[in-house]
Structures are given as C-alpha cells and as structure tokens.
Structure 1
Amino acid sequence: MLGGGIRPDSETFSLLLRSCGRFSEERFGETVHCQILKTGFGSCVFLATGLLSYYAKVGELGSAQKMFDGLSVRDVVAHNAMIAALANAGRIGGARELFDGMVQKTSASWNSMITCYCRSGDMSLAVEMFERNPIKDVISWNAMIDGYCKLGQMDMALGLFERMGSAKNSVTWNTMISGYVHLREFQVATLLFQKMQVENVRFTEVTMVCLLSACAHLGAIEMGRWIHGYIKNHRIKVDVVLGNALIDMYYKCGRIDSSLEIFHSMPMKNIFCWNSIIVGLGMHGCGREALEAFHAMKKDTRIKPDGITFVGLLSACSHSGLVSEGKKCFLQMVDTYGVEPRIEHFGCMVDLLGRAGFLEEALGFINKMPMKPNAAVYGSLLHACKIHRDTELSEHVTQCLLELNPSDGGNYVFLSNMYASSNRWEDVERCRRIMVEKRVQKIPGCSSIEVDNVVHEFIAGDTSHPLFYQINSFLDEICMELRELGYEPDIKSVLHDIEHEEKENSVKYHSEKIAVAFGLMSIGGGKPIIVVKNLRVCYDCHEVLKLLAKLFGREIIVRDRNRFHHFRQGVCSCNDYW
C-alpha cells in the first residue's frame, strides 16, 4: 500500500494495531507506531488508545504506561487497557488502584481484575471480585474456572461450571477438559467430552488436542479415531500442533502405522513432530526406523535436534539391542550437535548396556556420571540384573535405590522377588517386615482396555467390575487350553512361600491377563486387543499373551511402562528382548 503511494488513514492504522496485538507482532507494531507519528496522527486520541492496547497485549508495560500518561482524554477503554497491562506484568496493586479509581466500570474492567487475581493464584480475591461484579459475562465465568483448573482445584471449577447453566461456550468446555487432562484424570475428561457431544457444543482445535492427549494416555483408540474422523469431516486444518497430537495419540494407542501416515502427510513439521515419531518408533521396537527418521530430519536445515530427540534415539537403540549405534548417538550429542547430556540420557545408556548384558560396563558408566545417579538410572540397571539373573549385583543396586528413596515399595518387592526366585525365604520375610515397619506399599498392577468407547480398568485384586466373575471363569477356561499347548506358569518370582497351586493363582490373575480376557470376550470382528498397563509386563504374562495370540488368531497389543508389545501368531515384536 505504501509502495503504491496510497496514504494510510486512521482506520488503516487501527486495523494494523489490532492485528499486531492479536498476533503479538512486537517489531511490526513499533513500525506502525513510527508511521503514525510520521503521517501526523500522533495526536489522535483514538489511535493513542489503540497503541496503549497494543503495548498492553504484547507485554510492553513501559511503553503502555507512557502512552497512558500522555493521553489527554482517558476513557474507559484506555483504563481497561492499562489495567490489563499492569495485570499481565504482575503489578496487581497498581492495577487494583487504577480499577478502584474508575468512575465507570465495564465488563472488561471487572474481567481484567478477575483474570489478574486468577493468574496470581489468589482465588480468594478473585472470588471477591467475581461476586461483586454486577455484569458477569461468559469471560468472567471462564476466567474463574480457568483459575481453579490451573491450581488443580477441579471440584471448585466444576461447581462454577455447573452454575453457569446454558451460558457455557466452547472455551468453558475446553478449559474444563484441559484441566482434567492436566491432572491426568483422563476418564473424567472423556466423559465430559461425551456430555459435550450430547449438548451439541461446537468442538474447536483446542478440544481436539486436549482429547487426543486423553485418548493417548488411556489407549482409547476408537475414540481417537472418531476425533480424527471429525477433524477430516469438518475440514479442520491439521497444523503442527494438531498433527503432533494425532501422531502422539496413534502411536500411544498401538498404531504406529497410522502415526507414520499422519506424519508423512504433513506439509510442515516442527521439532515436536519429528521427536514424536522417533519416540513412537522406538517404543514399538523399530530402532532402525527411528534412526532412519533421524537421518531424514537432519536434511531439514531448519530443524535442530534437541535433548528429547536423543532420549528417543537412545531409547529406540536400547529396545532394539543396537548397542554400537546407541553409543555413536551419545557421542554425537555433544560433539556434533552441542546438546549437553542430562541424567535421562545417561539413564538410557545404562539401559542400553544393561539389556545387552554388559552389566559391569553399565555400572562403570554410572560411576563416571558427572551428576548423582537417580532412581531411574539405578532402576534400569536393576531390571537388567533381573533379566541376566545377577543376584549379587541386584543386591548392591537395590541398596543404592533404598538409600535414594527408602519409601519406594517397588525396590523392596523387586529384591524380595529376587530372593524368592532363589528360595531365600528368610530374606523374603526380612524384606516384608521392613515394608511393614516403614509402611511402604506395593503399587498394584493396573491395566485398561477400551470397549465400545468406554475405558475399563482392571486392578490386581479388585473384584468390582460387573463382569468380574464371568471374566475369571473365561480366564480359567483359557488357562486349561494353554496347558494343552505346553504352558507352565512361571512362579519363580512369586513373593510368598506358599503352596504351588496358590502361586499359580497369584500369576493367573494379573491385571493384563484379565483385561485381555475381557477384550477377547467383548471385541469381535478380528480387531486387535489393545491394553495399557502401568507397570512392566511380567515374564509369565508375556508368555501367556504370545500363546493367546496364537490360540485365538488375534493381534494383542500391550503398552507397558516402557514400550509396546505386539503379539501375533505366538511371537512378540520385542523378540523377547524387553
């Protein structure tokens, strides 16, 4: 426009300032300010107020204050903008002083102060301001709900949410769903989404991203696919944020093929997209494919690998037994890419060496670390000791873990299991006594499976599921058939010195076996059985699931705490290397 010799007017500058404020274009906004002064509009009160609002939105408090002080006429819009600027800068006292001095207050004035208190975490003053507000609008309600959600006070947020009645908008729903997802209450988030559907509320990109995150954690593939279908049908643009959420959801729900399809269809990819696909391939045991993705990423000169990239690569090498490749990646981090290794990278290297059987090298690696090892690092070595049946090193590593975190029941259980496998029952009892004295609890195994868009959770020892007895009866029948295929329960690591039959029952009712049995009963059409577990899959369950996949001719996919296991025709994708 300027190049064409057309002189801008006040409306031109007003539109530009609004655009700059909306997209936080700081440098261009300053250019617009210069043009306003050059073209003789510096004394225009309307544009001066617009500049004040712009500087408030981009967080330039000093410039906003200068504009406010220089105004000959300070209307309610100017006051609201200055209150917002002070509030955004954390100058709550100044914002409140300006607010109290206003003769005429609009909804924007009240909302600025409510938002100000919510952001500072002072919900008592936010409530006081909210209740005094005579012109509550949806922004007022949403600000309060958002404040409670950010503090994790979901009961308070839900109370306001229900009080709103029909005044809710899509932002209100998104805020609640996001709050539950942030607190890892994924089941509640998905139930709220279903209610949102019933009430015909329009979904936004924010809704999609939050829900895909919930589906990813729950392993709710059917709901995830429904959301993906909704995105396609309503032609919602799949940008890097939404695309990354889809990649993340599919690989965490066991469908790495769909993740790759989304990834390759994206015209633009950022570092988060590349990291997701590398981590996803690693979790599914596709180590060489993860390395290939990394080499492809390097061809894009705009993308620079970061710490998460190398966590994904090292983990991928560990799960696939690529020891030399993992060592090479670790060296390249600093030498080639200038990424300083953090404790999680050292943990991945210990895991890589330990899984491959290089236990002494892994211990030496820990001793040479530039920082103090944490529980995750020692935990990786401890698991390797279990795989390679090194009881002596197990005791040493467990002692290190107990010194780090004496209240972690998992360490005592692990050591007890090692003693039990060697029939050292006196040592087992000693561990149990210590657990009782210290009041430490073993984390119960928990497995979940999605059936007809409902996620069912099974916890070891819990009989509350309405079909519990039918599932157990079916599981008993399965076990009888498995014995005909040569299956013998692995009871070496059962904790207690009890009768043989009791030990068999102890491993029979592990949560992942119950979840898979329920899936076989409930999911027809040859669809894969997808289960998510909070702990590592034990050896006995791993063997049973291989046999079940063969017996029923079904693919069984289990996501445990560390990786995915795809069971097909009697074999697992991990090749028994986990």
Structure 2
Amino acid sequence: MINTCFNFNLIKPHLKHKLISFLTRSSPNPHQFRHFSSQTRTYSNKQQSFLSLFNKSNTKLEIEQLHAHIIRTGFNQNLFVVGKIIVFCAVSDQCLMDYAVSIFEKINNPDGFLWNTMIRGFAKMNQVDNVFCYYKMMLEHEQSVDNFTLSFLLKASGQFGSVLLGKQLHCSVVKRGFDCHVFVRNTLIHMYGMLKDVIVARQLFDEMSEPDIVTWNTIIDCYVCCGKHREALDLFSRMQNACVTPDDATLVVVLSACAALGVLDIGRWVHLIVNRRCLMKDVMIANSVMHMYMRCGEIQEACKIFDKMSDKNLVTWNTMILGHATHGHVQDALSLFSSMINEKLGPPDEVTFLGVLTACSHGGMIKEGRQYFNRMTDEYNIKPTIKHFGCMVDMLSRVGLVTEAYDLVQNMPMKCNAIVLRTLLAGCNMHGNIKLAENVRRRLLEVDPDHSSDYVLLANTYASLDDWNQVSLIRRSMAANKVQKPSPGNSFIPVRG
C-alpha cells in the first residue's frame, strides 16, 4: 500500500516549490477529459509537470512521493505517467522490480510498452522465470509482441545459458516474421554468442546482405567470447575491406582479441587509430589499450597510459595491479594497491584481490598473502571465489606448505576443480610429499580422470624418490587407460622486415 501522505521535509528543495504549487490545483477527473477541451489542456499541463519532476528525481524516496501524488490527483491509470515510474524501477541501477510489480498489477489495461518494460527489468536482474512468466501473461492478454519483446527475451535466454530455450525463441522469431528485422537479428547473433554456438551465429551473420556496424561488432564480439580470437581479427579485416568504419565498440573488442593473442603489431595499429580520433579520454578505450599492452608484455607502454589518464576507474587500477602481478612485478602491484586504497577511490573488488594474491604468490610472501586474504573477507566482505583459493593453494604449495594447502582445499565452500588440485599436485611433486600426492591424485580421478599431466606429475614424484617400480606402474596404467598427451603447444617469434 502506498502512503499518500507527503513528508515535504524529505523532498529536495528544487522539487518542493513545484509540488506545493501543483497540490494547490484541483484534482482532475480523467473521465471528463474527452468532453472538454479546456480540461484536456489542464490535463496535458499537469502531465507535463509530472514529467519534469520525473526528470529531476533519481532516488526511490522521490519516486515513491511522486507516485503517491499521482494517486491523489487521479493519474494512476495514465499509462504514460505511470509508465515513467515502471521504467525507473526496471531500468535504473536500483532495479526496484518488486515496486514495479506492485504498480503494474494495479493498472487496468497495460499496453505493450509496459509489458516490455517489465520483461526488460526482469531480464536485467537475470530473473528468467519472471521474464517468461510475464511473456506468457502478455500473450494471454492478447498484447502484440514486437521487436523489443523478442530482443529482451533473446537476451534473457543467452544470460540463462539454455540452448533449448534459445532455439525455441529463434523459432518464434521466424514464425512471427521478425527474422529479417536487423535489431532482432543482431540480438539473435548475440544470444548464440552467449550460448557459445558460433556456427549458428556466423550463419545468421552470413545471411545478411549488408550488415551494419552493430552487426559487425556483434559477430566479432561473439568470436571473442567463444575464444576464437584469430577468427575475430580476420572478421575485423573483412569489415575494413567492406568499407565499414569501426566505431568505439569495435576497437574495444579488437583490442581484447589482440591482448588474448599477444598480437602487438595490430594492437599498436589500433592504438594509432584511437589517438587519431582523440578517443583516449574515454576510460573504457584507454583501459582496453592498457590491457592490450600489459598482456603483450609492453609494461612500460601500459604505465605511460596509466600515468596520463586523468580519470581512472576500478577497472583501470585492476588492470595495472593484475598486469604487474602476472609479470612478477610484486612490489609494483602491491604499491598500486596501497595507492588505490589511500586515495579512497572506492572499495576494491574480487579482481583487485586476485591481482594482490597473485603478486603474493609470485613473490613468496606467505604472511602478506594470508593477511590480504583475511582482509578481503573481513574488511571488504568479499566472498572468495575458486580463483582466490587457487592463488592461496599456489602460494602455499610453492614454499612447501602443501599440507596447509590441502586443508584449505578440504574446507573450501565450493567444489574444488581440477586446476586447483593440479596446482597442489605439482607442489607435492616439487617437495617430494608422495603420501599427499596420492591423496590429491585420487581426488583428481573423481574430477578429471584422464588428464595426462596428472599421471606425469605423480610419476615424477615417485621418480624424485627413486621409486622406479611405482613409476613403471603409473606409466603402464596410463597406457592401459589409453591416456595420451595433448597436442603440443605452438609458439612464434614475429620477424620484422
């Protein structure tokens, strides 16, 4: 129930005088508007006043007070005015969908825009059940489905990760004749990219005769998300041959592909384009360029960009901290973390502490690593992920504290994966703890039974203790289970000229 009693002391000064003047007017009766043009003008003027107040309201309290006034003045069934509240609840960062539902359920005849807004809000909150529940109710109320409805549904399906649901929606798109609608087609490509089905995404792209810049960006991003970075760069080259000018989003995605492949030459060329367009003032693009240089090993170039940036966000600091940590620049990473905290630029997140713990692991800083791990949970209330536990296991295993690392694995709040166990097994091999290595190996058999490196690590552990009978037994077991080493990796050295 909405409290219709205003507390004017809580309203911002710039809104108070407008509400006072608004309240002194007589409340309209919406049913009389179609008969009297003068009253229609009054109605329109009050509607415009509401809209001006909406534009200046950005908190839940202000929206609730405006909603209370809407009810008092008889505008609670005006779809345009009430729709503003629902849009605020569904689209704003506060995402007040419970409040939106309470308003929506009291509307007698919601239009397609309001149904779409509710679906959009639930999709933003990743509440897939509610998304399709409201879609079903929308159909039951015989509301027509448009391109916006289908796009919100496709995005929700991609976030949910259901291939079956995505394909069913794809069929619905075709049946309703929206498969040639550019906006819907782009969302379809994006959905299949989120579902890691790059083949269908590429087929949808190739069927388009003249893809626009959004379509090119979507398919390139699809390949990057699926880990096919070389193919993404090939598409970028094809895009240029088609005389389509890349925009900011294109450059960010291409820089990401360059970073993943370590392709410094293309990365530098993209950096030149960014400089020519004076785009380095954009924090997202500057972060992407800096990340590319870090991943390619050009640390000094990344540091130059960081020092020149006037506006830095959390991603900027995380990129530098994690980049320094990955390259073994332990003190630089920890100094950056201290500077970030001292300048009070906002609380760190899980990525920040991932970089800090990686630095401690590479530097053999056990005491500091434990302190940062406890600080992350106690001071900043950040729940450790499997990657944080992996850093701690790696840090402890490097210095021989494999028993403590094993206890940490045993007490993890989530199921341990093969990567963490393999890290611990490597530590047991390094420090000759055969008994613990056998226990870890048994755990690995449950998670990933046929990985060749596990057999090799255990055999090497026995070999370090000169137990050649066990070495032979492990190798025979490997042959009996038909476990083969994976294809060897490739490396290349670029040659100029």
Q: TM-score range by the shorter chain?
A: 0.7 to 0.9
Larger deviation, residues 425-434 vs 226-235: 425-434
Residue 334 of structure 2: aligned partner: 291
Residue 244 of structure 1: aligned partner: 287
Aligned-partner SS, 1:263: helix
Aligned-partner SS, 2:209: helix
Residue 301 of structure 1: aligned partner: 344
Whether contact under 8 Å (1:287, 1:319) holds in the other structure is yes
List aligned pairs for 1:108-127, cutoff 5 A.
108=148, 121=162, 122-127=165-170
Larger deviation, residues 131-140 vs 3-12: 3-12
RMSD over aligned Cα atoms: 4.0
1:299 is displaced (CA, Å) by: 0.8
Letter in 2 for 1:523: R
Aligned-partner SS, 1:165: coil
Whether contact under 8 Å (1:149, 1:157) holds in the other structure is yes
Gaps of 5+ in 1: 447-457, 459-511, 525-578
Distance in 2 between the 1:402 and 1:289 partners? Answer: 39
The correspondence for 1:80, drawn from 110, 113, 117, is: 113
1:282 is displaced (CA, Å) by: 1.4
Residue 465 of structure 1: aligned partner: none
Distance in 1 between the 2:371 and 2:181 partners? Answer: 59
Question: 1:233–1:40: structure 2 CA closer, same or farther, 3 Å change rule?
Answer: farther
Letter in 2 for 1:95: Y
Question: 1:417–1:92: structure 2 CA closer, same or farther, 3 Å change rule?
Answer: same
The correspondence for 2:254, drawn from 196, 211, 216, is: 211
1:212 is displaced (CA, Å) by: 2.4
1:287 is displaced (CA, Å) by: 1.0
The correspondence for 2:206, drawn from 158, 162, 174, is: 162
Aligned-partner SS, 2:188: helix
Distance in 2 between the 1:290 and 1:116 partners? Answer: 38
Distance in 1 between the 2:279 and 2:131 partners? Answer: 39
> Is residue 2:297 matched to residue 1:264?
no
Calculate percent identity across the aligned residue pairs.
Answer: 28
> Is residue 2:190 matched to residue 1:146?
yes
Distance in 1 between the 2:216 and 2:103 partners? Answer: 39
The correspondence for 1:63, drawn from 84, 93, 100, is: 100
Whether contact under 8 Å (2:131, 2:153) holds in the other structure is no
> Is residue 2:226 matched to residue 1:183?
yes
Looking at secondary structure, tell me which structure has more helix per residue.
2
1:254 is displaced (CA, Å) by: 0.7
Larger deviation, residues 149-158 vs 266-275: 266-275
Whether contact under 8 Å (2:196, 2:226) holds in the other structure is yes
The correspondence for 2:440, drawn from 400, 403, 418, is: 400
Question: 1:65–1:149: structure 2 CA closer, same or farther, 3 Å change rule?
Answer: farther
Aligned-partner SS, 1:184: coil
Instruction: Say how many residue pairs are matched.
Output: 440
- Map Cα deviations across residues 58-108 of structure 1 (whole Å, 9 max, x no partner): 563763674575467x6xxx2233144246533425424534654866554
Letter in 1 for 2:275: K
1:367 is displaced (CA, Å) by: 3.6
Whether contact under 8 Å (2:154, 2:191) holds in the other structure is no
> Is residue 2:473 matched to residue 1:430?
yes
Distance in 1 between the 2:140 and 2:305 partners? Answer: 53
> Is residue 2:321 matched to residue 1:278?
yes
Looking at secondary structure, tell me which structure has more strand per residue.
1
Question: 1:231–1:28: structure 2 CA closer, same or farther, 3 Å change rule?
Answer: farther
Question: 1:346–1:229: structure 2 CA closer, same or farther, 3 Å change rule?
Answer: same
Question: 1:342–1:110: structure 2 CA closer, same or farther, 3 Å change rule?
Answer: closer
- Map Cα deviations across residues 528-574 of structure 1 (whole Å, 9 max, x no partner): xxxxxxxxxxxxxxxxxxxxxxxxxxxxxxxxxxxxxxxxxxxxxxx
Distance in 1 between the 2:101 and 2:364 partners? Answer: 58
Q: Provide the TM-score with structure 1 as the length reference.
A: 0.64
Distance in 2 between the 1:317 and 1:98 partners? Answer: 54
- Map Cα deviations across residues 203-225 of structure 1 (whole Å, 9 max, x no partner): 34433333222222211122222
1:445 is displaced (CA, Å) by: 3.4
- Map Cα deviations across residues 128-150 of structure 1 (whole Å, 9 max, x no partner): 32222346421121222222222
Residue 98 of structure 1: aligned partner: 138
Q: Provide the TM-score with structure 2 as the length reference.
A: 0.73
